[in-house]
Chain A
Amino acid sequence: MEELNAFLQERADNDLLPWYAQLAAAQRFDVSLPRVEEAALSLELLPARYQRNRQAIPVGQQLALFRSRVAVIGCGGLGGYVIEELARLGVGTIVAIDPDVFEEHNLNRQILSTPSTLGRAKVEAAVARVADINPAVTVIPFRVHYAPENGADLLRDTDVVVDALDSIPTRLDLAETCADLGIPLVHGAIGGWYGQVTTQFPGDDTIQKLYSRWVEGKGVEQQLGNPSFTPALVASIETAEVCKIILGEGAPLRNRKLSINLLDMEFEDVIFTPHLVAIGE
């Protein structure tokens, strides 16, 4: 597509590509907006929407984000914010998995829920929201329960999985599936003023340790509910972890659990001994 490349280069302002040029290129060459974005980033032209990313994420890394595929399991409190932030970050493909529709009790915190989306599938709302905020990002919706039986199909070719579930046994199943498939997993959980985040690479067992004494039912969220700010914060930390894993930058919360208490503003970083298999002994 040399003509497309020339078209984009002509319309770039230095190395910034305005949105109208991306739209015009898609129309003129009858290609998708994701295809235009990949062409631009491959030419080291930065879509202008990402110009405030650039000090943290240079154009080559923006291309790596665009070429990555992240699965978000659960599109409620945590998952909604994660999807919003991944789309604005410029992750090219988001797999959104959730069987539920929005209900009124979701409105206090779930960013994809509005009075007009009540009764609508959460994954459909995710598709519509991302199409609205960043049409160069593709959302693949699966309106199903994640389960070990469908895990391999749902998570095929995924670079990172985000655990935004609300069920402890399903979280444990997901950790097993990700270990089997060799996919890094970013875990976040919330309840009331409290939350936790950890990142697990294949062979690690932090999540299994966190829930090793679980017998049945839910955690503190059963008593404490979920206000608006806890999912927003925990989802943001999860998204930062996803970004670092894709880019190979920084220090993820591997073999660590960040424990968050917003009521007393206490943050605890707990160290886990690496699992022997994971460190290759």
Chain B
Amino acid sequence: MTGATARWINCAPEARQRVYFANHTSHLDFVVLWSVLPRHLRAQTRPVAAKDYWQSGLRRALAINVFNAVLVERSGTVKAERSGTGKAERSGTGKAERSGTGKVEPSETAKGDHSADGSDTERDRAEQIGTARHSLEVLLEALDARHSLIIFPEGTRGKGGPVGPFKSGLYYLWLKRPDVQFVPVYLANLNRVLPKGEVLPVPFISRVTFGPPLEPAAKQSKESFLKEARDALCALQQA
């Protein structure tokens, strides 16, 4: 349907552990990215998908049985702070933020918020951080099981325009598992196949471009790592 063609630029489809991170414009993204991988890599590569969207019957069967997806909670379903955020990575972000700075104590979380009527909010935030931490653990578990992952660090589907800002989950994955290769993947034309809000697909030839794996300097700040990752992805847009 999408007749996807894959290009590998300074990167080969090797059987080593990787995190493929891609721009996100369509529900078809992970399906297409996954399908252009050579067969022997597909079995060990698992897309990361949001549990709330992929939970219902058919979608769930598809996600789990066909693609062996890692389903994670989105953390922002209740709280304003993260509401509207899209995907698994986002959750990874929230939890990781805490664990990155040290322990995530519920007390620490609550610190900022002393108002009496804030107790509900506090509980919610603690819950969110709980889910987020849980999500990161799920991803790390998948990595420890020697699986590669496909993630969309923008967190939600864009409109096919410029690549959106990255959520920090990617950074925490790298922090925890620096030996894993982080490969940027640019997906072109998929938003035209199935734009946000449309149900019926139109056939366009899409292009999947794999770029050279990141070579991040050790001890980078979150901002500079995310900028490097995003720049690497944007560079493929022109390639």
A and B co-occur in one complex: no
B: residues with CB less than 8 A from A are none
Taking Cβ atoms with an 8 Å cutoff, the residues of A that contact B are: none
